[in-house]
Amino acid sequence: MKKWVWMPPIPAGMHRPYELNNGDSIAFLNLSGDKRRHEILVKDRYKNFWVYNNNLELLWKGENGQTGHFPHMLDLDGSGYDTMAIGYSLWDHTGRQLWSHDKEFEDHADGIAIVNMSPDPTRRRGCTPAAATRVSSCSTFKGRC
């Protein structure tokens, strides 16, 4: 093992039997503009996540109404930085939440994908709150869309 770091403490107000988070998911992302994904996202099962650099130093942390299970990273605008879809929210590479629909849905998002759903395969990809609502509705209401 080359490097390691303790998981963050359980946030105040959350009653759990352990002092530290045990984590629920890990993902790699590109927040530095490099061609490879060097940064690491770790999330808990409910609403908190932490982003570390490749030296395992905390860059920033976030809180969502829901985190779901599998976040999705993608360079949406060709900037060289990944945008992170987690739960029903979208975050930029600096840790700024761009938008969220977390409070509008009662169920968590099992998996998130940002895809071109238009009939034009050459259409520039992107993700807007309105588009996310349509996709989120499909996963939330068990295929009744």
Amino acid identity, position 23: G
Q: What is the number of other CB atoms lying within 10 angstroms of the CB of residue 31?
A: 24
Structure confidence at residue 1 (pLDDT): 62
Structure confidence at residue 138 (pLDDT): 40
Structure confidence at residue 69 (pLDDT): 80
Our CA angle for 126, 131, 137, nearest 5°, is: 140
What is residue 44's DSSP assignment? -
Cα radius of gyration (the chain): 16
With a CB cutoff of 8 Å and minimum separation 6, the contacts of 114 are 72, 74, 76, 85, 125, 127
Pairing of strands 83-86, 89-91: antiparallel
Over its length of 145 residues, how does the chain's per-residue pLDDT go in tens digits? 688 888 888 777 766 666 777 778 889 999 999 888 999 999 887 788 999 999 999 999 998 877 878 888 888 888 999 999 888 889 999 999 998 888 887 777 777 777 777 777 776 655 544 444 444 434 333 333 3
**Token pair for 100:** 């969220």
The domain segmentation of the chain, as residue ranges, is: 25-140
Structure confidence at residue 61 (pLDDT): 92
Structure confidence at residue 93 (pLDDT): 93
Pairing of strands 72-74, 39-43: unpaired
